[in-house]
């Protein structure tokens, strides 16, 4: 028994009807902050109060918020729901000529594979409900039947019944099976002692039901083993009596075998998240029938590792319908959901996009192909692909310190191997661009790409033009051979090398660095001979092999005691230049500006 479809309209940020289809198992709802996720969960729980949408398009307001659920259950579940001797009503169907009622197949005349009910809600109440019947019904007429629960079969079918149908009864029973756990602290450490084993939807009687669970030692031990999986520092929980006929949950952070009950901690004094987990585990572990469990932002009250372990346990109990709202990539990937829905806000109105699971799985494969993960891109508005890890780290730093530049929600990522784009013998260029193009369409959970910034290396202008054409003009090239060319600055080099422990005794000076550069900059090892003849400083800055030069400089300046680390030392040089000579990156800032401006039109 689960929610198959939700339609919500005129509720908070939802104006026009928004529909999402759900299933048994884990369903994920994601979206940016204040996009409407929580409103959607409130609608799913049916426990909402009228909050009509306030639109900028009209001053007139519809009076009522509207939420409609399509509830699906098996025929066996329907029979189990009907108490003994209760007359159960269905719409009367028009029989075919000479058709006779067969008790054993009676429900097959009404429903195909599953029983389906549509119920509308307002302010927590059922406004209307109906069975979705496959046969033609006779208006204002009903049938009735009773159940023999011992034989598990229908008895005593009457085709003319004036009592109406029982869809409202089924919808009401279903609502009682919905639990919602919000991203807020639960204060449920103490409750009245009682005999109920059914957790209330607000979990207010959690101490009572756990106290009853203690009598089932095997199940209670299993409950505690689940708790310990999620919170390894918690050995056990127990429930003890308190004054006034109440019971209290206490947490054992020490091994109970030590018999130090003076060290237990009342649940009310424990951190946020433990009470929610206790309530969720109780529902999952003790429910003999499927439940709908709604969890709002588990990462807001749980450590990422604890959230992941909770989801692993939920996945082990496949009979339940789990609906999770999150913008955490670790929660999303751990859940391996059956459905994914993205809530978006535009012009102050929320709407829902359903993500194709095939798209998501393919995107994860493509991301693995290029050395990235879903967590790298999840939540970004756009992606700018760059040469390598150094640029991935340094470009955002340059943007942060440039008032005229802003990322505007863009994530900067390095491509796995730029050579794949440049060397036809490694892989077809078309194949590589196809992978990035597929990832960059903005479908599923992937944001769209705004472009690429690559090193020029030794590419000829016609080769650059070819790559621009193949990328549909999304590739821009650094004016210089590589990013390291912008880092060759004597003051920066002296500062970075001198900052390493154990090199003080070298007494390295600025004159030493300048002298080495002057003596070695025109070495054919670092620059082509055609540039040596002219010895043009601007040409040298553009065409020198900066990475190779820096590698040799670090070795020479430190007597081989410090090797140039392409990422670590490049980032350190970049940091120094940003602080002391930001204009060194003016050419890069122009490229970044050109690419980031694309995000405004993408």
Please give the full DSSP string across 347-404, using - where no structure is assigned.
Answer: TTEEEEEEEPHHHHHHHHHHHHHTT--HHHHTT-SEEEEESSHHHHHHHHHHHHT-TT
8 Å CB contact between 54 and 112: no
336 vs 290, residue with greater confidence: 290
CA distances from 355 to 105, 251, 328, 340, 363 (A): 38, 41, 16, 5, 12
Q: Where residue 526 falls among pLDDT bands split at 50, 70, 90?
A: very high
Whole-number Å distance between alpha carbons of 22 and 288: 21
What DSSP state is assigned to residue 319?
A: T
291 vs 160, residue with greater confidence: 291
Label the pairing between strands 349-355 and 292-296: unpaired
Residue 429 has pLDDT above 60, yes or no: no
Whole-number Å distance between alpha carbons of 384 and 390: 14
Q: Where residue 257 falls among pLDDT bands split at 50, 70, 90?
A: confident
Which two structure tokens, joined as six digits, stand for 462? 């016609």
CA distances from 491 to 565, 571, 583 (A): 18, 15, 15
Whole-number Å distance between alpha carbons of 132 and 511: 87
Residue 453: strand pairing partners: 386, 476
Which two structure tokens, joined as six digits, stand for 343? 């809530």
Residue 94 has pLDDT above 90, yes or no: no
**pLDDT tens by residue, 259-296:** 888 889 999 888 778 999 999 999 999 998 999 999 99
**pLDDT tens by residue, 104-152:** 677 888 888 898 999 999 888 899 999 888 888 877 787 787 777 776 6
Per the rule left: phi > 0, alpha: psi between -120 and 50, beta: everything else, 34 is left
Residue 366 has pLDDT above 60, yes or no: no
Q: Where residue 425 falls among pLDDT bands split at 50, 70, 90?
A: very low
Handedness of CA 364, 37, 287, 206 (dihedral sign): positive
Residue 211 φ/ψ, nearest 5 degrees:
-60, -40
Whole-number Å distance between alpha carbons of 166 and 89: 5
Whole-number Å distance between alpha carbons of 348 and 525: 60
Residue 424 has pLDDT above 50, yes or no: no
Helix axes 429-439, 461-470, angle to 10 degrees: 40
Question: Mean pLDDT of all residues in the chain?
Answer: 85
**pLDDT tens by residue, 539-591:** 999 999 999 999 999 999 999 999 999 999 999 999 999 999 999 999 999 99
CA distances from 336 to 21, 52, 168 (A): 17, 34, 34
Handedness of CA 265, 267, 268, 274 (dihedral sign): positive
Residue 522: strand pairing partners: none
Q: Specify the pLDDT at position 154.
A: 75
Residue 408 has pLDDT above 80, yes or no: no
- Can you give the residue ranges of every domain in the chain? 2-175, 185-277, 357-482, 490-580
Select from 521, 528, 530 the least CA-distant residue to 493: 521
Q: Where residue 360 falls among pLDDT bands split at 50, 70, 90?
A: low
Q: Specify the pLDDT at position 599.
A: 63
Compute how many other C-beta atoms are within 10 angstroms of the C-beta atom of residue 123: 14
3 state DSSP class of 52: coil
**pLDDT tens by residue, 9-18:** 999 999 999 9
Q: Specify the pLDDT at position 396.
A: 93
Residue 367 has pLDDT above 80, yes or no: no
Percent helix, strand, coil in the chain (nearest 5)? 40, 25, 40
Whole-number Å distance between alpha carbons of 283 and 238: 17
- The pTM for the full model equals 0.73
Residue 19 has pLDDT above 70, yes or no: yes
């Amino acid at each position: 028994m689960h929610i198959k479809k939700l339609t919500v309209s005129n509720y908070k940020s939802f104006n026009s009807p928004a529909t999402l289809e759900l299933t048994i198992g884990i369903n994920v709802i994601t979206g940016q902050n204040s996009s409407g996720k929580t409103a959607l969960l409130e609608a799913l729980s049916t426990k909402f109060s009228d909050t009509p949408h306030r639109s900028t398009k009209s001053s007139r307001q519809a009076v009522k918020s509207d939420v409609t659920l399509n509830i699906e259950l098996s025929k066996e579940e329907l029979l189990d729901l009907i108490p003994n001797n209760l007359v159960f009503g269905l719409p009367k169907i028009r029989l075919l000529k000479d058709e006779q009622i067969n008790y054993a197949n009676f429900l097959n005349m009404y429903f195909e594979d599953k029983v389906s009910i549509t119920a509308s809600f307002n302010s927590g109440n059922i406004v209307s409900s109906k069975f979705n019947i496959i046969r033609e019904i006779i208006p204002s007429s009903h049938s009735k039947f009773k159940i023999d629960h011992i034989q598990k079969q229908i008895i005593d079918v009457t085709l003319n019944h004036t009592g109406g149908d029982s869809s409202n009864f089924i919808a009401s029973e279903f609502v009682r099976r919905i639990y919602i756990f919000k991203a807020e602290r639960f204060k449920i450490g103490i409750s009245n002692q009682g005999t109920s084993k059914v957790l209330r939807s607000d979990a207010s009687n959690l101490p009572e039901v756990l106290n009853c669970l203690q009598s089932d030692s095997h199940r209670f031990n299993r409950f505690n083993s689940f708790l310990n999986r999620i919170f390894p520092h918690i050995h056990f929980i127990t429930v003890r009596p308190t004054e006034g006929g109440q019971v209290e949950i206490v947490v054992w952070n020490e091994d109970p075998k030590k018999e130090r009950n003076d060290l237990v901690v009342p649940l009310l004094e424990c951190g946020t998240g433990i009470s929610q987990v206790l309530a969720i585990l109780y529902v999952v572990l003790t429910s003999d029938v499927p439940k709908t469990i709604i969890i709002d932002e588990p990462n807001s009250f749980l450590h990422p590792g604890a959230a992941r372990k909770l989801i692993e346990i939920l996945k082990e109990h496949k009979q339940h319908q789990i609906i999770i709202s999150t913008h955490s990539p670790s929660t999303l990937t751990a859940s391996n959901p059956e459905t994914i829905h993205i809530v978006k806000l535009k012009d102050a109105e929320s709407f829902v996009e359903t993500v194709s699971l095939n798209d998501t799985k393919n995107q994860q494969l493509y991301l693995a192909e290029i050395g990235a993960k879903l967590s790298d891109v999840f939540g970004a508005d756009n992606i700018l692909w760059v040469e390598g890890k150094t640029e991935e780290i340094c470009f955002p730093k340059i943007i942060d310190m440039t008032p005229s530049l802003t990322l505007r929600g863009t994530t900067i990522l390095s491509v796995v191997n730029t050579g794949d784009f440049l060397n036809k013998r490694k892989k077809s260029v078309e194949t590589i661009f196809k992978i990035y193009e597929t990832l960059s369409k903005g479908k599923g959970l992937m944001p769209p790409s705004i472009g690429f910034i690559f090193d020029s290396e030794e590419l000829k202008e016609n080769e650059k033009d070819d790559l621009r054409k193949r990328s549909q003009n999304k590739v821009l090239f650094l004016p210089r051979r590589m990013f390291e060319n912008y880092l060759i600055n004597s003051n920066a080099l002296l500062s970075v090398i001198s900052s390493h422990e154990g090199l003080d005794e070298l007494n390295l000076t600025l004159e030493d660095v300048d002298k080495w550069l002057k003596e070695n900059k025109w070495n054919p090892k670092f620059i082509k001979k055609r540039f040596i003849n002219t010895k043009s400083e601007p040409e040298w800055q553009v065409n020198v092999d900066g990475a190779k030069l820096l590698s040799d400089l670090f070795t020479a300046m430190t007597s081989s005691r410090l090797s140039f680390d392409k990422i670590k030392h490049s980032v350190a040089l970049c940091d120094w230049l940003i602080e002391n000579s930001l204009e060194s990156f003016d050419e890069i800032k122009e490229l970044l500006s050109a690419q980031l401006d694309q995000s405004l039109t993408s």
